Every structure is written in structure tokens, then in C-alpha cells.
Amino acid sequence: MLKTKDILDEKDKRLRLISKEVKFPLTKKDKDLIDTMIKYLHDSQIDELAEKYDLRPGMGMSAIQLGVPKRYFVVVNEITEEDDEEQKFDTYILINPKIISNSMEQIYVDEGEGCLSVNRPVEGIVPRYARVTMEAYDIEGRKIHIRGREELAICFQHELDHLNGILFTDHIDPKNPFKGKDQMRGI
């Protein structure tokens, strides 16, 4: 079982690698890693399991965060309605992803963006597109298009950055961490 300590820390130079395109069909090792990432993200968002297994909650994870420099990431997004008793999730697997369109509107996470590889509080805003359309491949190698809005769009952009060796902290102006806040919408 994947543990929080298995995820590369921001000090690890491998996080700065530009991940390589994936060839199809996927290897068993890649499919197993994708399953492991999904399980971690799913379990980390269920309070009892996160506490039991000491998992830091996360919504997305890129292969590079586990030391594998390949262009894929997984997002497990909670979609539970308030009156639902059971947590429900949408799972996205994006292989060789790219943004093919985006909104002009920019947003940021009010309480600050986070990352499973950054184990410290970070002040500042990260400008992100409010909506993005991603083109990628599914686990079988079929081309897919996925539109993300708000939190999902932010997560897609955050994980895509990982594949390019970029951490969210790179987007924050160290001299003025809240620069441009008045031109964007906080969510």
C-alpha cells in the first residue's frame, strides 16, 4: 500500500524532470501504478481511512511524484452531494495530457493551493484558468477530451505542471505572494 512517505518531497530533484510521453499499450507496471495512485487518492479523502493509514488527503497525483518520469496523472474528485450519506468520486486517468483550450477568466484557491509533495504551509495565490479542456489518452490508448471547471480545472493544471517539472510554488511571486489577486476570482 502506498503511504504518504512514498511520495517525493519538493526537495527531490526528480520532481524537476520533464516527464516522457507514454507508449501504448501500457505496461503492467504502469497500470499497477495507476491503480495504486487511484487507491491512495480515494482512501486519502475518506476520513476514517486517511486516519487509519496515515494518508495526507489529496485529489490528484502524477507519476513523477512517485519517481516515475512518465506523462500521466490521476485525479479522484469527490462528487458527493450534501444530503448524500455515502461519499462518491469521479476518477480521471489522463495519459499524455495537454490543454487544448482554456477560459480567459483566471481563478485561485482562496485558502491556498496544496500538494502532496509540498509538506509545508505556503502563502500566496496561484493563477489558474477557470475552465480547461484537456486532450489525453485513456488507459486503453483511446483519445479522450475532458472539460474541467473550477477545482477540477485547477487540479488538471496542477498535475500537468508536475509533468513539466513545475511545482505550484513556482507560480507564486516571492516578493508579492498575492500579486494580481484583485484581477482573479477566489474559489
User: Which of residues 82 and 11 earns the better pLDDT score?
Assistant: 11
Q: Which superfamily, per CATH, for 4-186?
A: Peptide deformylase (3.90.45.10)
Contact 98, 134 (CB under 8 A): yes
**pLDDT digits 0-9 by tens, 113-122:** 999 999 999 9
CA 144 to chain centre: 18
The Cα–Cα gap between 51 and 148 comes to 29
**pLDDT digits 0-9 by tens, 92-102:** 999 999 999 99
Full-model pTM: 0.95
Please identify every residue annotated as catalytic.
Answer: 159
Q: Please report which confidence band the pLDDT of residue 79 belongs to, taking 50, 70 and 90 as the band edges.
A: confident
In sequence order, the β-bridge partners of residue 145 are 135
Computed on alpha carbons and rounded to an integer, the radius of gyration of the chain in Å comes to 16
Residues 6+ apart with CB under 8 A from 94: 72, 73, 74, 75, 134, 136, 137, 144, 146, 156, 159
CA end-to-end span of the chain, whole Å?
33
Judge whether residue 134 has pLDDT over 90: yes
Judge whether residue 48 has pLDDT over 80: yes
DSSP state of 177: T
Listed in order, strand segments (DSSP E) in the chain are 60-62, 72-78, 89-102, 106-108, 128-129, 131-137, 143-149, 185-186
Judge whether residue 56 has pLDDT over 80: yes
CA 53 to chain centre: 21
At position 138, the amino acid (one-letter code) is D
Instruction: Give the pLDDT confidence score for residue 87 in this predicted structure.
Output: 86
Q: What is the mean pLDDT of residues 21-37?
A: 98
Residue tagged 500579486 (cell numbers):
179
User: Which of residues 86 and 81 earns the better pLDDT score?
Assistant: 86
Judge whether residue 31 has pLDDT over 90: yes
**pLDDT digits 0-9 by tens, 152-181:** 999 999 999 999 999 999 999 999 999 999
- Where in the chain are the domains? 4-186
Instruction: Give the pLDDT confidence score for residue 35 in this predicted structure.
Output: 98
Contact 187, 109 (CB under 8 A): yes
The Cα–Cα gap between 181 and 23 comes to 40
